[in-house]
Amino acid sequence: MNDGRRRRPHARLPASMALAHLFLTVGVGWGVDRPGFKPGFNLFSPQQDVQLGRERAEEVDRSYPLLADPQVLRYVNDLGRQLASLAPSNNPAYVWTFKVINSSDINAFALPGGYIYLDRGAIEAAESEAQLAGVMAHESGHVVMRHGTHEASEALLAQAPLALLESILGRSGSLSGQLTAVGLDLGLNSILLKNSRDAEIQADAVGAYILYRAGYDPHAMAEFFEIVARKYPQKTVQFFSDHPNPEDRVKRIDAEASADHFSLGPPERRKSDSPEFEDAKKRLLSLAAPSSAETAPSVAANFASPPPPPSSRFAKFDGYGVSVAYPDNWHVQRNEDAVVLVPPGGIVEVPETGAAQAYGLSISRFQPQSSRQGNWGLVDATEELLSLLRASNPNLRVIEQRAMNLKGRSALSTLLETDSPLPGQKERDLLVTTRQSDFMLSLICIAPQSQFDAYKASFDAMLESLELR
Ligand SMILES: [Zn+2]
């Protein structure tokens, strides 16, 4: 099933003293005055950046396996806070917490207000402290330039009158909830994390500046992007999806890195590595490898061998506002707007359109267009979703639709037939839709038509286990 959206093959201190120090050292207003280092248009206050970031961070903490190793976390937080203390346009409200996701992917992302997440694989792939500092400084750049809430502000302005927005942003309570009410999805993988190329250029520039101030060679940031893209192309898809490569990235960073440009004079020393970095890396390499269930990209190398049968033992996925059991030989992957539970080899590469799911369960949220006008009905909203799915699955056909009961909630079950991403095969999909607060929750059980019956018992067990929060 191709859901029509961009596919991701797998599923990202107290500053007042530091600021004073920065101003004394480099002259009042440096960085703040420099046009490239000014945050863009924003409807939110820095405090609201923190509030939104915290709300989203709670979701990340629930949805991703976090590394709990105190030694690594202490190192990453010490380094991160030292870097953040040198960031331009810092704000005392920002929290600057750094967490490590226990995944072998090479990615990093920043939520508004200073909640920064690094994949364990990114630390392991860094060849020096300066390179790791480069990634972290880049993420800090997104925070201080407020790219997430800048994008959200622009999106909001496009869909609601300013007066309404101002009244919403002035209320107390969950900010995400209020923004959802005006039609802006600030869930994970939403606009808060979609960085434009302009934002990337600015985060690179701020990152280079921070590195320079911290005594590292700013080239290390460019080096890291280059090395990981070359050495681990499979593991960096997510990184360059969250942080799209600006044209001439390396050249631009090199230009930022020149001392003349900063007017700071030549650097006295350039740190590259530290014993602490080497210790943290050694420590990581000594820990058990991340669970493959969370990280293994399951892109089928060929179509010849179907996935192994679903295990009769179940694991539990908990996140994204749901809890659901799934066969324990399947993987969890997080795509652009969905959580996907998928057997090994269940995602296939399709020429031109990219990866598509041929087997498994896809869980996503859908916001009906009509939701902004008030109440929406499940049947209409499901029809709206189907018409979207038809755009990328032109041969989609409804076989049967009936009301059903999902743990006491009314739901709609729609049996579909469409083309499988497997060449020459038809696909059977069981779409189950129900309300989840303001959204419609959509679950799609997917298998080639010829094998749907073999998967039916597993799909039924998964749907029966489903709990909504
Ligand atoms: Zn970025």
**CA–CA distance from 239 to each of 243, 321, 423 (Å)?**
6, 25, 30
451 C-alpha vs ligand 1 centroid, how far in Å? 42
User: Which residues make beta-bridge pairs with 400?
Assistant: 415
pLDDT digits 0-9 by tens, 204-258: 999 998 998 898 988 888 889 888 888 888 777 778 877 888 778 888 887 776 6
199 C-alpha vs ligand 1 centroid, how far in Å? 7
Asked if residue 468 lies in contact with residue 397, where contact means CB atoms within 8 angstroms, the answer is no
89 C-alpha vs ligand 1 centroid, how far in Å? 17
399 C-alpha vs ligand 1 centroid, how far in Å? 44
The contacts of residue 60 (CB under 8 Å, 6+ apart) are: 12, 99, 111, 115, 117, 188
Q: Is 45 helix (H, G, I), strand (E, B) or coil?
A: coil
45 C-alpha vs ligand 1 centroid, how far in Å? 21
Phi, psi of 117 (to 5 degrees): -120, 135
pLDDT above 90 covers what percent of the chain? Answer: 32
User: Which residues make beta-bridge pairs with 364?
Assistant: 338, 442
4 C-alpha vs ligand 1 centroid, how far in Å? 25
209 C-alpha vs ligand 1 centroid, how far in Å? 15
242 C-alpha vs ligand 1 centroid, how far in Å? 7
37 C-alpha vs ligand 1 centroid, how far in Å? 15
Asked if residue 120 lies in contact with residue 102, where contact means CB atoms within 8 angstroms, the answer is yes
What order do you get walking across the sheet with 115-119 strand by strand? 97-101, 115-119, 108-111
61 C-alpha vs ligand 1 centroid, how far in Å? 21
For residue 350, the model assigns a pLDDT of 66
394 C-alpha vs ligand 1 centroid, how far in Å? 35
Asked if residue 404 lies in contact with residue 412, where contact means CB atoms within 8 angstroms, the answer is yes
361 C-alpha vs ligand 1 centroid, how far in Å? 30
Structure tokens at 299: 């892109």
User: What is the value of pTM for the model shown?
Assistant: 0.58
39 C-alpha vs ligand 1 centroid, how far in Å? 15
106 C-alpha vs ligand 1 centroid, how far in Å? 13
pLDDT digits 0-9 by tens, 15-53: 232 322 223 233 333 333 344 588 998 988 999 999 999
For residue 204, the model assigns a pLDDT of 92
140 C-alpha vs ligand 1 centroid, how far in Å? 9
207 C-alpha vs ligand 1 centroid, how far in Å? 10
For residue 374, the model assigns a pLDDT of 62
Asked if residue 2 lies in contact with residue 391, where contact means CB atoms within 8 angstroms, the answer is no
296 C-alpha vs ligand 1 centroid, how far in Å? 23
Q: Distance between CA atoms of 255 and 313, rounded to whole angstroms?
A: 56
For residue 17, the model assigns a pLDDT of 29
Q: Distance between CA atoms of 278 and 180, rounded to whole angstroms?
A: 44
200 C-alpha vs ligand 1 centroid, how far in Å? 5
* H-state helical runs in 108-236: 120-125, 129-144, 147-159, 162-170, 175-181, 197-214, 219-231
Residue by residue, DSSP assigns 232-249 as -GGGSHHHHHHS---TTH
For residue 13, the model assigns a pLDDT of 26
Structure tokens at 386: 């189907």
142 C-alpha vs ligand 1 centroid, how far in Å? 7
Q: Which long-range contacts (CB under 8 A, 24 or more apart) does 197-201 make?
A: 197/244, 197/245, 197/246, 197/247, 198/246, 199/142, 199/145, 199/147, 199/150, 199/151, 200/243, 200/244, 200/245, 200/246, 200/249, 201/246, 201/252
Q: Distance between CA atoms of 82 and 21, rounded to whole angstroms?
A: 12
Per-residue pLDDT of the chain in tens (469 residues, 90 and over written 9): 766 443 333 222 232 323 222 232 333 333 333 445 889 989 889 999 999 999 889 888 888 889 999 999 999 999 999 999 999 999 999 999 999 999 988 889 999 999 999 999 999 999 999 999 999 999 999 999 999 999 888 888 777 777 777 777 777 677 777 777 666 666 555 667 778 888 998 999 999 989 988 989 888 888 898 888 888 887 777 788 778 887 788 888 877 766 555 555 555 567 888 999 999 999 999 998 886 544 433 333 334 467 888 888 888 888 778 889 988 878 877 655 678 888 877 877 666 555 678 899 988 888 887 666 667 888 888 888 888 788 778 888 998 989 898 888 899 999 999 988 888 889 999 999 998 877 888 899 999 998 899 899 999 999 999 988 8
CB-facing half-sphere around the CA of 304: CA atoms within 13 A: 2
For residue 191, the model assigns a pLDDT of 65
178 C-alpha vs ligand 1 centroid, how far in Å? 27
Q: Is 433 helix (H, G, I), strand (E, B) or coil?
A: strand
